[in-house]
Structure 1
Amino acid sequence: MAMTAAVKDELSRVPVTRPSARKAELATMLRFAGALHLVGGHIVIEAELDTGSVARRLRKEIADIFGHGSEVQIVAGGGLRKGSSRYLVRVTKDGERLARQAGLVDLRGRPVKGLPHHVVAGGVADAEAAWRGAFLAHGSLTEPGRSCSLEITCPSPEAALALVGVGRRLGVASKAREVRGGDRVLVRDGDAIHALLTRLGAHESVIDWEERRMRREVRATANRLANFDDANLRRSARAAVAAGARVQRALEILGDDAPDHLLQAGRLRIEHTQASLEELGALSDPVMTKDAVAGRIRRLLALADKRAQDLGIPDTESAVTPEMLAP
């Protein structure tokens, strides 16, 4: 919610000079946040918004572009929206005229189901303005992570499909979905969200969002590496315990009847069951490489297994229990 509020606050301050783009943004805001009501035979337009800055931008654009006055009413949050106020912008006088000017109704006075024709057929600047208006009206942005998304709640399936079509002119990979009984347009790819927010004019929010995204990726990478290292350590420890058990059995089979240098390596393995081969080499006198230690232990085990075979007794592998190899 914090990211959404920050983006809407920044977008509500983006200057737009092109007349067609201003009309496209206004029309889309009214379409996605508004509703047409028939009161006493006259059309009344109401637009419900979640921030005061967006409500002020909408009222200013209605007055500057079409010359209509409007009023705003603060609605206290209740139910699921408890604690969060809503802002209801209402145009009662000349509501029908504004609806026609904004393209909310067609020439016969019927409500438009998708987006007004001048928005759908507009240029790139108009497409950017339409997406800006849709986000200001009913957009949300989740924190960057595995399921990051930019989402627009739409008033109808036709409006969702129209917004997806407008997005194609911007190169935005968005999809229309029905979620929990409502129509929504979703952008899930992190790079696509970055590009879209930049085109809409939310430059400061993009920097903040990218920093959070980078921190999340670095944290996830660090966790993966830590888990990988931890798994390797556990695997190495199990292998060392199993090797120690085999060496113990080898010494029982051979007794002192083995070369001294092999016996020395075997005793080091038993005395330091959790140590790595490299650590065993550092503990030996004289110091050996891990390959030398491994070679001596391997020859000790082979010698003991051959003796066990000759005597018909269990070999060194018999000392390794399933518990030693369990994860």
Structure 2
Amino acid sequence: MPLTADVKAELIAVRDPRPTARVAELTALLRFSGGLHSIAGRVAVEAELDSDALARRTARELMELYGVRPELVHVQGSMAAGGPRYAVRVIEAGETLARQTGLLDPRRRVVRGLPNRLTTGSRPDLAAVWRGAFLAAGTLTDPGRSAALEVSCPSSEAGMALVGAAHRLGVAAKAREVRGIPRVVVRDAEAIRAALAAMGAVRAAAAWDQVRQRREVRAGVNRLVNFDDANLRRSAQAAVAACARVERALEILGEDVPVHLEEAGRLRLAHRDASLDELGHHADPPLTKDAVAGRIRRLLAMADKKAEADGIPGTESAVPAGAAD
């Protein structure tokens, strides 16, 4: 998923200097990317990651924070896994590391969720928890009806801990199970943008939100572009596309445009979100909505006729992609 890769590339570059935030991020990453294994009777900590850059960054954090030298292994991923995978393993001193990071409790029991000190930490620590979890097992889908930011979880307890961290960050998230896999899902568009920004993916959040807004406008245009006089009062969104045609019409006609048609076109451009009825009230003298609609239709028809005669693109060429579907 290109969006997911962009978000992760930005998050990999985030460097929070606070030790507690670094520990929170690394612990969450280890918990959501594999966690604990038993190798030759010894406790091993392993993270299976989807990029070499992330694997090397994780190894560096382990060395700097805990003084362990992990093993880096290239794992051949399956089609379901989406390509090559990279394992970061700590076998020597693996149990000690597991206790230090809170993956094992003092009685050597596996912590199925996240250490309590992380989920009740400061806002930067909570953001770091989400950053680590997303780097390990997160995905972001395109804006639209099915848009979602999701994190696959190793257990339902880990999912609930992540939901709690999200709520403390002011992000609405829900835990659910899909095909037997616990997941934490953020679906609200504003919540997705807020989650991305909180994690540190500021550029990705802005880009995602821009695409979302553009698609929402196009969706509105697609619903209303074939409106008739009976629903013109609800055409505020469709006016966005109409303005593009009017601007093109005035450009095509230039000085040849009749004054009364030019005035109607300029009125449309000056009040882009107004209904035709409202445009009529802005005119001097006032016009009915039918009169405004008629003048704009004649303006567009005259421009399209001239464009056809001159062999140049007509007013429809200025309509955003998808608006004429």
Aligned counterparts of 2:192 and 2:76: Cα–Cα separation in 1: 31
CA-CA distance at 1:40 after TM superposition: 2.6
C-alpha RMSD of matched pairs (Å): 2.0
User: Which residue number corresponds to residue 15 of structure 2?
Assistant: 15
Matched, 1:135 2:134: yes
CA contact (8 A) 1:24 1:118 kept: no
Alignment match, 1:110: 109
For the residue of structure 1 that corresponds to 2:10, the secondary structure is helix
Name 2:310's counterpart in structure 1: none
Count residues with an aligned counterpart: 234
Secondary structure in structure 2 of the residue aligned to 1:194: helix
Identical amino acids, percent of aligned pairs = 53
Shift of 1:111: 0.6
Q: 1:113 to 1:195 in 2, by over 3 A?
A: same
Runs of 4+ in 1 over 3 A off after TM superposition: 227-233
Report the AA paired with residue 21 of structure 1: A
Q: TM-score, normalised by structure 2?
A: 0.69
In the alignment, the residues of structure 1 paired with residue 12 and residue 20 of structure 2 have an alpha-carbon distance, to the nearest angstrom, of 17
The whole-number CA distance in structure 2 between the counterparts of 1:40 and 1:78 is 25
Find the aligned partners of 1:182 and 1:93 in 2 and give their Cα distance.
Answer: 30
Q: What SS is found at the alignment partner of 1:218?
A: helix
Please give the residue correspondences for 1:290-305 in structure 2 after superposition, counting only pairs within 5 Å.
Answer: none
Shift of 1:232: 7.5
Letter in 2 for 1:115: L
The aligned counterpart of 1:64 is: 64
> Is the alpha carbon distance of 1:79 and 1:120 closer, same or farther for their aligned partners in structure 2, counting shifts above 3 Å?
same
CA deviation string 1:189-219 (max 9, x = no partner): 0001111111111111112212211221121
Partners of 1:198 and 1:58 in 2: how far apart? 22
Secondary structure of 1:184's counterpart equals strand
**In structure 1, what is the Cα distance between the partners aligned to 2:35 and 2:124?**
25
Give deviations 1:127-181, integer Å, cap 9, x for gaps.
0100000100100000001111100100001100111111111011100001111
> Which residue of the partner structure matches residue 227 of structure 2?
228
Secondary structure, counterpart of 2:159 in structure 1: helix
Match of 1:74 in 2: 74
Match of 1:28 in 2: 28
Unmatched segments (≥5 aa) in structure 2? 233-289, 292-325
Q: Which has the larger radius of gyration?
A: 1
Give structure 1 stretches of 5+ with no counterpart: 234-289, 292-327
Q: In the TM superposition, what whole-angstrom CA distance separates every residue of 1:68-111 from its partner, at most 9, and x where no partner exists?
A: 111211222323246x1111111111101110110000001111
- Residue 153 in 1 paired to residue 152 in 2? yes
